[in-house]
Amino acid sequence: MATFTYESIKYRFKNPTVDGNLDLLDDGASLKIAADDDLVLTHSGSVGDITCSTGALDINAGTLNIKDEASSETMASFVSDGAVTLNHDNAARLATSSAGVSITGTTTSSGTITSSANLVIADGGTIGSASDTDAITIAAGGAVTFSQTPVFPDGSLPLADLDIDGGTDIGAALVDADLMIVDDGAGGTNRKSTMSRMKTYILSSVYPVGSIFISTSSTSPATSLGFGSWSRFGEGKMLVSQSSSDSDFDTAEETGGAKTHTLSEANLAAHTHLTMNTGNGFGTNLENNTTGTGTTNSRGGLGNNDYIMQSVSSAANAGKTSSTGSGTAVTHMNPYIVTYMWKRTS
């Protein structure tokens, strides 16, 4: 049987010594320590409680284990090197140091881990959810790899954060296969697009349906630009700007004109011709008449060489000049240079 010795104080024990067990048999009985009952150990019959009302509660042990009463499984271990192992439901292991808190292992327990210091995982360690345990992997050098595409709340990434001044230049000419980031409308989703689609968008705005494309290459714009349906336009014709005040040019695609033109009598400038009529058939002596007005002449000598020169307007004495001209069409082509022209039809 255990022995129990003490110094008697009213309602209390002083300096008790127990050789064996000390049993407090009443539920709610308390074991009080210190002059002002600063440390109290109590069990209500269903819940045990340790209360330290003054100062800190220090537990000194090389390893302090907290176990499950029913299974005797160690739920938490506090080790002298500062490591804390939470083993309930395969809980995580926390190792504390001056640099922060290091967590190894996995946990299925609910709740939140909060740290006011650094949170460090092993090189190549992962952070994830129960369904995707390696959603985030952090390499030894700090590079972060996501197993899924990161999703940011709308408007959470300021435009200024997309500053690309620090990026590396592509170092080559842009090509159709190069990609760019496009926001598909206000408040939309960022998506990618090739440079070829950007080129098509810009050029199709520059050359809408009905536009004329001029080139020295025979390749159709449908091939060289990569969009639309095109047909040859204005073959063998020059372009003239539309003019509402001129009926020849007041309608788009109106045609007219010709490369050559054959002159008619009406196209000739007003002018006169000289003719003669002599009295005795000698019509060779016209040196004294150069104006086409009526005149007479008598040279004398061998026979009667007198002649009368009538004016051209004298119908009764009208003569006829010799024929000239061939009726060849007149070319009135401006200096030109040949190109290919197409019209966008759709």
Alpha-carbon distances, residue 272 vs 233, 283, 311, 321, 325 (angstroms): 48, 20, 11, 11, 16
**What does the block give as tokens for 212?**
């004329």
Separation of alpha carbons 286 and 271, rounded Å: 21
Q: What does the pLDDT read at residue 105? A: 53
Q: What does the pLDDT read at residue 87? A: 61
- What 3-state DSSP class applies to 35? coil
Q: Mind listing the pLDDT tens digit for each residue in 220-265?
A: 999 999 999 999 999 999 999 999 999 999 999 999 988 888 988 8
Alpha-carbon distances, residue 71 vs 67, 88, 234 (angstroms): 8, 11, 97
CB contact at 8 A, 134 and 128: yes
CB contact at 8 A, 40 and 32: yes
Q: What does the pLDDT read at residue 205? A: 93
Q: Please identify which residue in the block is written with the tokens 């408040």.
A: 187
Tell me which residues of the chain have a pLDDT lower than 50: 90, 106, 108, 277-290, 301-305, 310-318
Q: Mind listing the pLDDT tens digit for each residue in 291-311?
A: 555 555 555 544 444 555 544
CB contact at 8 A, 223 and 334: no
Q: What does the pLDDT read at residue 284? A: 43
Separation of alpha carbons 41 and 52, rounded Å: 9
Strand 100-104 vs strand 119-120: parallel, antiparallel, or unpaired? parallel
pTM (two decimals): 0.46
